[in-house]
Amino acid sequence: MRIAPSVDDLTELTAAWTGERSADGRPRVCDATLQKLAGATTEQAWDVLRLHGYHRQFAGGWRQTHPGAILVGRAVTAQFLPHRPDYDAAVVAAGAREGRLAGDDRQNSWIIETLQTGDVMVCDIFGKVRNGTVIGDNLGSAIASRTGVGAVIDGGIRDMTGLSSLDGVNFFFRDNDPTAIADVTLAGINVPVRLGEATVLPGDVILGTPSGIMTIPAQLADTVAEAADDIRVRDVFGKLRLADRTYTSAQIDVADWEPAIEADFQTWLAAMHKRYRHKGRR
């Protein structure tokens, strides 16, 4: 058995993605797309994904170490199961063959050792909080230094004060508890996992906002980013026209604007682009 799938296995699992891949085989959505998605809202991403048949990509009900800080990155997934002695022994033996840190009490560290810049550790520990604290401030510091992003843990954390003091990251979790992780076994790294009703695949883009977690399939990341930009600009225009009472909310708050409103928007957008170009030449 293997702790993580092979590159070929991951390529087959995420075959809908045809772009660049990380060394471990995960889809590697480019940094520019991640930067665009950092400006997207949960609702914007949701609208695009459901139009493509993805209706269960949202998971809510989280606490955060840095409320309001947007989290965006590429998923490194991990799953824990309730402890079973024979299975745990097999996992420890597989880890030893692969040169991972010794001991069944180090399995959460195995995940962290795989993380790279721009990754988000996504951990399914079946909502366990007491003795389900995947990280404290020491492992959280390691995640912060490796990824610069953070983690999503469907379970517990400990050392909330220390984690909250880390800069430039955010950790989403269910609750905090002083106990250490215990009575669980790592089922795999970079395997499909569950967050609420959402299935997360390795390489998915994780968008964490004040609303919750959106899991964006890698092959739709560019589509979501471009659509979010368009929606955001249209929102600015719509609010301006509502504020000056040019149009009513019934005219603006619809899926498709009337031709006259769309023409007004395109004229306004061209003027905005011209203004920004003019400023750039100064």
> Per-residue pLDDT tens for 107-126?
999 999 999 999 999 999 99
Pick from 27, 187, 168, 10: nearest CA to 111 = 187
C-beta atoms surrounding 123 within 10 Å: 25
pLDDT at 281 over 70: no
pLDDT at residue 233, as a whole number: 87
Give CA–CA dist 7/13, Å, rounded: 10
SS3 content of the chain, % helix, strand, coil (to 5): 40, 25, 35
Per the prediction, the chain carries an average pLDDT of 94
> Per-residue pLDDT tens for 126-140?
999 999 999 999 999
pTM, rounded to two decimals: 0.88
> Per-residue pLDDT tens for 235-269?
899 999 999 999 999 999 988 899 999 999 999 99
- Asked if 27 contacts 14 with a C-beta cutoff of 8 angstroms, the reply is yes
- Asked if 246 contacts 238 with a C-beta cutoff of 8 angstroms, the reply is no
